[in-house]
Structure 1
Amino acid sequence: MARVIPVGLPSLGQPFSWATEAGGMVFTAHGPVRPDGSIETGSIEAQARLTFENLRLALAAAGLGTADVAQVLIYLTEVDDVRAVDDVYRNYFAPPYPNRSTVVVKALVVPGMRLEIVAYAAAH
């Protein structure tokens, strides 16, 4: 059975948990959600910093860090944003980097939201 990890991020009124642990893994997904529940829709750099900071918070709540992450899936609405997201990514992850896939999608759930990530980490 999955255990919900209390992350401290706001409820968005949707049926999901910010992070869960099951089978020795932590599963978490994030976007540019501010502490008040509003969505950052500014520059891709601002969205990426907030998104990866939310990931860091979720990992810390599980007693983990980015070195424990095995895979990251990145969803972008603009292919031209890859380089900027990579620059922010390097502030949170160091070699050897986790396995990663980047996918460009038509849209995300909130207009103006250009980034969403999913990460899988090994629990301790």
Structure 2
Amino acid sequence: MADVIPVDLPSLDQPFSWATRAGDVVCTAHGPVRGDGTIETGDVEAQATLTFDNLRRAIASADLTLNDVAQVLIYLTEVADMRTVDAVYRTFFDAPYPNRSTVVVKALVVPGMRIEIVAYAAPSAT
């Protein structure tokens, strides 16, 4: 079983952990969750910035940095949001970038939520 990593993000009363560690690999998933547990449903730039900031916080809780992220999976509800998400992504990650896949889905769990991500990190991934 994976070890749960304590992350300073709100409990959403759902059956998941913000981050877990299995061996050296940290697994984490995020959306635009504010510190009070509400979801940002405004423009995609604000949602993406909050989502990637939540990722940064979770990775830091595992004593890693975004340079240790090996893979990012991005789920978007609008293909037109890709350019904006790419711009935000570049403010959080430097080249060489993590491996990445982007999928456009019909909807996410919360109405108005336009982005969700999954990331995997390990020490010295870059």
* TM-score bucket of the superposed structures, by smaller chain: over 0.9
Q: 1:107 is paired with a residue of what secondary structure? A: coil
State the identity %.
75
Moved over 6 A (4+): none
The CA RMSD measured in Å over matched residues stands at 0.9
Counterpart code for 1:116: E
Q: 1:8 is paired with a residue of what secondary structure? A: coil
Deviations along 1:34-61, one digit per CA (max 9) or x if unpaired, are 0000000000000000000000000110
User: Residue 5 of structure 1 contacts residue 19 of structure 1 at CA under 8 Å; is this kept in 2?
Assistant: yes
TM-score, normalised via structure 2 length = 0.96
Q: Displacement, 1:123?
A: 3.9
Counterpart code for 2:84: A
TM-score, normalised via structure 1 length = 0.98
1:108 pairs with 2:108? yes
Q: Which runs of 5+ in 2 are unaligned?
A: none
Deviations along 1:40-84, one digit per CA (max 9) or x if unpaired, are 000000000000000000011000111100000000000000000
